[in-house]
Chains A and B, each alone.
Chain A
Amino acid sequence: MTAMCDVAFLLLTFFILTAKPRTDDPVPVDIPASTMKIQLPESDLATLTVGQKKVFFGVEGFEIRKEVLKQMSDKYKVPFTPEQIIKFSALPTFGVPIRMLPGFLDLDGDQKKNFKQPGIPTDTTATCELFDWVRTARVVTASLDNKDMRVAIKGDGKEEYPTIAMIIKVLQKQKVNKFALITSVKSVAK
């Protein structure tokens, strides 16, 4: 019994230390499989989740999120309270226009989950919100961590190509020509 207890607690400690809670995607995303096995970095990364023709944005790191929100708040003249900034720093990914963001941040857990997020407004011009989110996140990452931010696209396999093409255009507008496509692993079919 003592040995079993020891093993159980050892495993428990291991899982608690390695735990990184699974982040729920706001829309169901079925990522396509590929044979590539490049690891994604865990920091200095922005993820664009794409599904049902909507784009969701998320950036890693609490401090980076806070700073990004502050700069976006200045740029779009949308004020945020300190509580809302703290709530935002715990938000892994979101997809609401910035004018709706204060209201969205005030919702509590369940309401937030059930809230139909309309996606971040995106078009091919250099003035759309997605462009500014990515750009601000890159500037903040460069100033706080002194590193280039990587951009990853997590797309639903059944998403039609025009949506993806639009995101790629937005990224290329700010000369982000290299990005990662998040895929699951499969072996080469022989």
Chain B
Amino acid sequence: MAELDTSGGGKHKGGKVRSKKQSTRVDLTAMVDLAFLLVTFFMLTTTLNKPKAMDLVMPDKDEKVKDEKPVPESRTMTILLGKDNKIEWYLGLPGKPLAPPTTDNFGRNGIRKALLENQKKISDASGGKPMIVLVKPSDHSVYKNMVDIMDELNIAKIDIRAIVDILPAEVELLKRDGNY
């Protein structure tokens, strides 16, 4: 097909030597091979899907300003992140919780269900006001837990949330239930 045609032009008649007619076709096989090699190389070395990002907004930590509004405890859900991907959550204050601390795990039947149920419960009890979620990662939780829980909050469309430092009382709580 694309080979260089080097056979003589026509039949030899009467021993007459004719000049060979050169074909204009060039062998492209090697070039195509090279092109595909380079295509493969570039395909493998480039990252086509650009990294996606999750935005994280932390509460402003200004030592001077002290006009923080108190968080209404009746609408607060606190999520503690423990070791081995375990979660513990409660409603209200740590001393006298409105719902007792519950150990949970990540996933569809774990924290997502609890988030949706609590959201509904709090919304019903307070007349349609949104739930406030405080995420408190302990020292034994890993970065993936934090990303996962923020993702769950995004899925549940809970916008009022914050990552806060864990309190000693809550560490005790995690220790008691074997999650620390």
> Chain A interface: which of B12-20, B97-105, B124-132, B138-146?
B138-146
Across the interface, do B57 and A181 meet the contact criterion of CB distance under 8 Å? no
Partner of A184 from B51, B140, B141, B145 at Cβ < 8 Å: B51
Across the interface, do A32 and B42 meet the contact criterion of CB distance under 8 Å? no
**Residue on B with the closest CB to A183?**
B54
Across the interface, do A179 and B52 meet the contact criterion of CB distance under 8 Å? no
Across the interface, do A182 and B28 meet the contact criterion of CB distance under 8 Å? no
B7 at the interface (CB under 8 A from A): no
Partner of A5 from B35, B43, B150 at Cβ < 8 Å: B35
Across the interface, do A38 and B143 meet the contact criterion of CB distance under 8 Å? no
Q: Cβ of A189: which chain B residues have Cβ within 8 Å of it?
A: 107-108
B39 at the interface (CB under 8 A from A): yes
A75 at the interface (CB under 8 A from B): no
A157/B144 contact (C-beta < 8 A), A5-B32, A20-B46, A35-B151 known = yes
A38/B52 contact (C-beta < 8 A), A1-B2, A5-B32, A189-B107 known = yes
Complex Cα–Cα for A155 and B148 (A)? 13
A114 at the interface (CB under 8 A from B): no
Chain A 9-44, CB-CB to B under 8 Å as 1, else 0, gives 101100110111110000000011111111110100
Chain B binding site: helix, strand, loop or mixed by DSSP?
mixed
| Size of the chain A interface, CB-CB below 8 angstroms | 55
Q: Cβ of B154: which chain A residues have Cβ within 8 Å of it?
A: 34-36
Across the interface, do B35 and A22 meet the contact criterion of CB distance under 8 Å? no
Partner of B52 from A21, A36, A156 at Cβ < 8 Å: A36
Q: Cβ of B61: which chain A residues have Cβ within 8 Å of it?
A: 172, 177
Complex Cα–Cα for A152 and B54 (A)? 9
Contacts across chains A and B counted by CB atoms under 8 Å = 154
State how many angstroms separate the Cβ of A25 from the closest Cβ of chain B: 12
**Residue on A with the closest CB to B62?**
A175
**Residue on A with the closest CB to B83?**
A160
Partner of A182 from B52, B146, B151 at Cβ < 8 Å: B52
Q: Pull 29 A–B residue pairs with CB atoms less than 8 Å apart, ordered by A.
A: A1-B29, A18-B46, A20-B46, A20-B47, A21-B45, A32-B143, A40-B50, A40-B51, A40-B53, A50-B143, A155-B143, A156-B143, A157-B147, A158-B142, A158-B143, A159-B142, A161-B142, A161-B143, A161-B146, A178-B56, A180-B55, A181-B56, A181-B147, A181-B150, A183-B51, A183-B52, A183-B147, A184-B51, A188-B155
B residues bordering A, Cβ < 8 Å?
1-2, 28-29, 31-32, 35-36, 38-39, 42-43, 45-62, 81, 107-108, 137-148, 150-151, 154-155, 163, 165
Known: A34-B150, A156-B143. 20 other contacts (CB 8 A): A1-B29, A5-B31, A8-B35, A8-B36, A11-B35, A31-B51, A32-B148, A34-B154, A35-B151, A35-B154, A154-B51, A157-B142, A161-B140, A168-B163, A177-B57, A177-B58, A177-B59, A177-B61, A179-B56, A181-B53
